[in-house]
Structure 1
Amino acid sequence: MRRTASPISLVILGLGTFLLVLAPLLAWYVKPRAAVNPIDIDTTAVYTGRGSVFDTEKIETVPDQRITVTQRVRGDVADSERSGNAVWDVVTSVDTDKSLPAADPHDALDLNVHRWVLDRKTTEPVHCCEEKPYIQGEAYLKFPFGVQKRSYRWWDNTLGDTVVLRYRGTEKVQGYSGYRFTGSVPPTKTGTRLVPGSIVGQPDRPQVLAEEWYANHGVELVVDRATGRVIYAQTGPRRTLRAPGGKKDAAVLLDAEKIAFTTETQKEAVRQAKRDSGQLRLVGVTAPIGAAVAGFVLAVAGGVLVARGRKGDGTPETSGTPDVPQPTLTK
């Protein structure tokens, strides 16, 4: 009797073929769609350090003050869904112990509110949705997915321009390895401010349109390679005032050589980086490899079973009825 392939062997063959097709789809189709910037982000980063700040009550710069920078990023889901981009609202406050805890962010030493709109896949700035200011560069708050070992143009909101951050190797933060980037900002005029003339060395003038200058002793970032998330950040801002046309700083508003992520902020950033990079690795590497291996094994096994089931057993076909001798007619 001729054999036919069993249902089980066909199922095994079909499942193996399905997994072989699924493997490249996970790597080339699903992963790129999983690596997108969120629209419902709600995160807070806290930096601390010591430095000099201008005391508006004493009308002088006070040294060796504890400085706390709080940066909260929240996504505008409605605007994000309408535009197809990630619309993030950023509130950054600078405080000393004198203004903390602050019931109102406007009580801070300095407060900056702005909106960043970014492409959800590439992280490049998008200019829409009442974006303010006009942000440029390749990265701000986070790097693109799949960070490379090269220099990046990082947006410095205080400078109002990009800063080149150069790749400096790898570094561990809370036991988690990331790419390290560094850069600095030379003294640069960023605007003007109306102040009493006495602040900039011109006591005979009641009001002066002083020049605002900004520099940065050093920016250092450690970034998760897969997600582009910043797991450690350090900055050294210096903000000063000069008399109109002046060549030297006349008043120091803020000067700190190092303000960095707190330990709690580092731990939370590392936790999120591990979670997100793990999900991307699962979809883009682990699952495709597993599907490919399992699919190959099942396809081979199913093919063998199907071939064996269809192979004849070497006996002739019969009707299933025994031969009965016929009588011979003789005369």
Structure 2
Amino acid sequence: MRRITGSALFGLGILCLLFAMALAWVIVPSQRKVPLDLVPPDVVVEAASASFVQAKMLPNGTPQVVVESAGLRSTTGIKPDFRAAAELDGETLIWNVYHSTNRIDTGEMINSSESRIALDRRSGEAVPWEGQCHVEQKAPCTPGNVAFAGHLYLFPFGTEKRAYDYWDSTLHRVLPMEYQAEEEYNGLPTYRFQQQVPDQQAPMDAQSLAALLGFLAPGSTGGAISYRATRTIWVEPMTGAIVGYREQQHRELVPNLGERVVIFDADLQYDQATLDAVRSEAARGRDQLRLLGVVVPIGLAVLGLVLIAAGLLIAAGAGPRGGRRVAAAPSRPLPTPVP
């Protein structure tokens, strides 16, 4: 009976070790991807004071474009398209992204945009998809009018200390997002990254540029938009969640005649509600990954080793079949022959 018990404990210990290795090296790594049914919280960035161009309509019906100064609130909302994602390979997210920027004091909308984008569930990077599009000011979103690339809203599970390509929505291309340092941010261990966009000409459609020149630089016959920005993000590395964001952006209208005009200048950061929401999501995901990928495998491995050792000890202590030893007969001296 002891031998049977020992063998059973030994076998159970081996199973615990195998399951621990499967959890740590196969099961959990295979599940490190964004759930298809994830609905991200709205993200809000604010600037307490900013300069920006605002189009207005005067009481007499005359349009006016002026540079204003006020606080800005920029909101990004995401609605996953589950049906479109289901038609793909199962490894891709389809997100409809809605963006609007409003004055904090009056609530007036300054601009808005809409995008459709495909993202890899593991890396978080944009992937080629014929349905992707981007449009400003609620015009029709025409599929294929943009080629998203790099990272926009997510970083990979197990983010590394290296540079990543990050999408610039003004230039419509990727620029490097450089790793800077490990840093605790909002109560979480994070990696800090920064993207520097050097001063350069930004694209703008001819009609919008002509309108800006006509209102803000009368007399000029041409011009361009000068643009520069610095983005700093804080990433929780286990989940790839962006838990902190800061964008310092500056744009100027540069006419061929007259002075340059600042048309946008703002220092935008997550508001407190967004900080709380993204921290909660990242902390929950981090805890689940640590539990299933580290704590449970270690516990199972220790339990497996204990069971194996116990099984070997019990089996080694078992005697011959029947469990009893046969006592040896006492020795007696041989009889002495009589002469």
Q: TM-score range by the shorter chain?
A: 0.7 to 0.9
Tell me the secondary structure at the aligned position of residue 142 of structure 1.
coil
Other-structure match for 1:255: 265
Matching of residue 89 in structure 1 with residue 105 in structure 2: no
Equivalent residues of 1:192, 1:212 under 8 A apart: no
Counterpart residue identity of residue 290, structure 1: G
- 1:287 has 2:287 as partner: no
The answer to whether the 8 Å contact 2:65/2:216 transfers is no
Distance 1:241 1:204, change over 3 A: closer
- Select which of 259, 268, 274 maps to 2:277: 268
Query: After the TM superposition, which residues 146-295 of structure 1 pair with which residues of structure 2 at under 5 Å, given as runs?
Result: 146-186=158-198, 187-194=200-207, 195-196=210-211, 197-203=213-219, 211-216=224-229, 218-243=230-255, 246=256, 250-256=260-266, 258-295=267-304
| Distance (whole Å) between structure 2 residues aligned to residue 29 and residue 201 of structure 1 | 62
Map residues 45-84 of structure 1 onto 2, 5 A cutoff: 45-49=43-47, 50-57=49-56, 58-63=64-69, 65-83=70-88, 84=90
User: How far does the alpha carbon of each residue in 1:115-166 deviate from its partner, in whole angstroms, 9 at most, with x for none?
Assistant: 22121122232111502231112x2212111111122221112221112222
Q: How many percent identity over aligned positions?
A: 25
- The residue number in structure 1 matching 2:157 is 145
In the superposition, relative to structure 1, how do residues 249 and 204 fare at CA in structure 2: closer, same or farther (>3 Å)?
Answer: closer
Q: CA separation of 1:248/1:189 partners in 2, compared to 1, >3 Å: closer, same or farther?
A: farther
Aligned pair in 2 of structure 1 residues 199, 234: CA closer, same or farther (>3 Å)?
Answer: same
Contact 1:19 1:294 in 2 (8 A): yes
Alignment partners' CA distance in 1, 2:231 and 2:259: 22
Q: How far does residue 67 in structure 1 lie from its aligned partner after superposition?
A: 0.5
Q: CA deviation at 1:10?
A: 3.9
> In structure 2, what is the equivalent of residue 17 of structure 1?
14
Q: Could you list the runs of 5+ residues in structure 1 that have no partner in the other structure?
A: 101-106, 318-331
**Per the alignment, in what secondary structure is the counterpart of residue 311 of structure 2?**
helix
Measured at CA, do residues 52 and 288 of structure 1 come closer, stay the same or move farther in structure 2, by a change above 3 Å? Answer: same
Partner in structure 1 of residue 38 of structure 2 = 41
Contact map agreement 2:71 2:105 (CA 8 A) in 1: no
Q: Distance in 2 between matches of 1:39 and 1:211?
A: 42
1:88 Cα offset (Å): 1.5
Match of 1:111 in 2: 112
Instruction: Give the aligned residue type for 1:294.
Output: L
Cα distance 1:215–1:247, how it changes in 2: closer, same or farther (>3 A)? farther
Look up the equivalent residue of 1:142 and give its one-letter code.
L
**Aligned Cα root-mean-square deviation (Å):** 2.5
Q: Secondary structure at the match of 2:147?
A: coil
Q: State the one-letter code of the partner of 1:39.
A: L
Q: Residue 143 and residue 249 in structure 1: after superposition, are their counterparts in 2 closer, same or farther (change >3 A)?
A: farther
Indicate the SS of the match to 2:317.
Answer: helix
**What is the TM-score when the length of structure 1 is the normalising length?**
0.82
After TM superposition, give the deviation of residue 91 of structure 1 in Å: 1.2
Instruction: Report the equivalent of 2:325.
Output: 315
Structure 2 distance, partners of 1:307, 1:34, is: 42
Q: Which amino acid aligns with 1:35?
A: R
Distance 1:23 1:56 in 2: 62
Deviations 1:67-115 (A, max 9, x none): 0010112211111222121112211111113552xxxxxx721111112
**Residue-pair matches, total:** 299
Deviation at 1:278?
A: 1.1
Aligned to 2:335: none
Please give the alpha-carbon distance, in whole angstroms, between the structure 1 residues aligned to 2:325 and 2:298. 44
Kindly indicate whether the alpha-carbon contact (under 8 Å) linking 2:191 and 2:236 is maintained by their aligned counterparts in 1. yes
